[in-house]
Structure 1
Amino acid sequence: MSKGEQTKVVILGEASELASRVGLGGLTIGTLAAATNLSKSGLYAHFLSKESLQVEVLRHARDLFTDHVLRPAVKAPRGEPRLRAFFEHWLAWQTGRFSGGCIFVNAASEFDDQEGPVRDELVRAERDKEESIALVVRTAVAEGHFRTDVDPALVAYELEGILLAHHHARRLMRDRRADELARRSFERLLDSCRAQAT
């Protein structure tokens, strides 16, 4: 990686953290310049526009999600243990990766009705996550951990719902039981999926 590429990665790290606090819509080359003490002209050389900066921040955050959630989860044994690892790493991501909460949850509420490259990037990230969860669930079915009639897309949907409720409880409601409630909900989801012992 060249020095310029290394610098850009550092800038994207700062930009992702800033976006978690001020929102992706509030992230501009000007606000990033002020937060990092870098010149606007130098940042323009890296990103060219506000929209380009926002898209690259989402791609950077997606790479971080892969490093902090997906790759560690894949190290767990196939099937239910891997889904459990995915959930725990995702919960840790939401509670501690960014000081302003999950950048994807925050950005989704900002850009869900705004057509364009930023929304497209968010949708891509969300679809990839859903497909990853569905794959883990299909593996759990193949391993005999889950019933054969379990719908992987529905499990991904319900798991997303648990994590969204967790984000809401923890960030907005400041509910100290948020982690506990998320884990209890997840256990109920697992119970609904498990194959009956024969």
Structure 2
Amino acid sequence: MTETRPVRGQDTRRAILREAVQVGTAEGLDRLTIGRLATALGASKSGVFGLFGSKEELQLAAIEEAKASFITEVIGPALRQPSGIGRLQTLCDAWLDHTGKDAAAGGACFFLSVGSEYGSRPGRVRDAIVSVWRQWHDFHRQTIIEAQQLGEIRADTDPVQLAFELSAFERSAATDRTLFDDTEVFERARTAMRRVLREHAVQPDRIPLTA
């Protein structure tokens, strides 16, 4: 019989949520159960249940944990750069780095995985996923608008269209990495995004074609 230990403290909660994000990324939130996480971490099922109360609350907490990680690893590096096209490039690079580093999930993206899973399923989980996506799209577009206002992106550029095109490269790379186990797709996406940025930049030479 497997020995389990009681669940205590924020460190244990974070460990549970990190495991939950990993499962959600690789297999989907429906595969996320309190019993599975308790077994994986050698914790008591009752203790894990006491922290979250239900599968839905666990799923919502996993979404918040993934969001916090995304902010730290993607938004954070961009905000450390001055407003302008350099910040936009950093934002694109950081997104690819964040997704591409997760070898255990095959280079999958948590929010792409769970977005596909819950896209047509109304409820609190879908609402939470949609909220994160909207915040990301708003930040992406605002970064482009700020660069445009600084005169670093052409005045005739449509920020909504440019954000869509850049995100499309990002989403395609994550999907192809998972489907085809192709480790080079993130660098291909990086090259494609830089070419698009150069097309819209007032000074294209500011954007190198290679990292």
1:13-162 superposed matches below 5 A: 13-97=18-102, 99-100=104-105, 101-162=108-169
Which AA in structure 2 matches 1:111? Answer: Y
Paired residue secondary structure (1:25): helix
1:166 corresponds, among 163, 173, 179, to: 173
| Aligned mates of 1:6, 1:61 — CA distance in 2 | 16
Which AA in structure 2 matches 1:42? Answer: G
Q: Is the CA contact (8 Å cut-off) linking 1:29 and 1:43 kept in structure 2?
A: yes
For structure 2, which runs of at least 5 residues remain unmatched after alignment? 1-7, 205-211
Which AA in structure 2 matches 1:96? Answer: K
Q: Is the CA contact (8 Å cut-off) linking 1:17 and 1:98 kept in structure 2?
A: no
| Aligned mates of 2:77, 2:65 — CA distance in 1 | 18
For structure 1, which runs of at least 5 residues remain unmatched after alignment? none
Count of residues in Structure 1 that have an aligned counterpart in Structure 2: 195
Task: Quote the residue 2:9 is aligned against.
Answer: 4
| More moved, 188-197 vs 12-21 | 188-197
Which AA in structure 2 matches 1:39? Answer: S
Deviation at 1:104, TM superposition (A): 0.8
| Aligned mates of 1:157, 1:68 — CA distance in 2 | 21
Which AA in structure 2 matches 1:129? Answer: W
| Aligned mates of 2:32, 2:163 — CA distance in 1 | 30
| Aligned mates of 1:38, 1:155 — CA distance in 2 | 47
Q: Is the CA contact (8 Å cut-off) linking 2:78 and 2:88 kept in structure 1?
A: yes
* 1:113-156 per-position Cα deviation (integer Å, ceiling 9, x unaligned): 11111111110110010011111101110111111232222222
Deviation at 1:191, TM superposition (A): 2.7
TM-score for the superposition, normalised by structure 1: 0.91
TM-score for the superposition, normalised by structure 2: 0.86
| Aligned mates of 1:96, 1:127 — CA distance in 2 | 24
| Aligned mates of 1:98, 1:50 — CA distance in 2 | 26
* 1:40-87 per-position Cα deviation (integer Å, ceiling 9, x unaligned): 111111111111101110011000100111011111232111011111
Which AA in structure 1 matches 2:33? Answer: T
Deviation at 1:188, TM superposition (A): 2.7
Deviation at 1:98, TM superposition (A): 6.3
Q: Is the CA contact (8 Å cut-off) linking 1:147 and 1:196 kept in structure 2?
A: no
Which AA in structure 2 matches 1:7? Answer: T
Deviation at 1:178, TM superposition (A): 0.5
RMSD: 1.7
Task: Quote the residue 2:4 is aligned against.
Answer: none
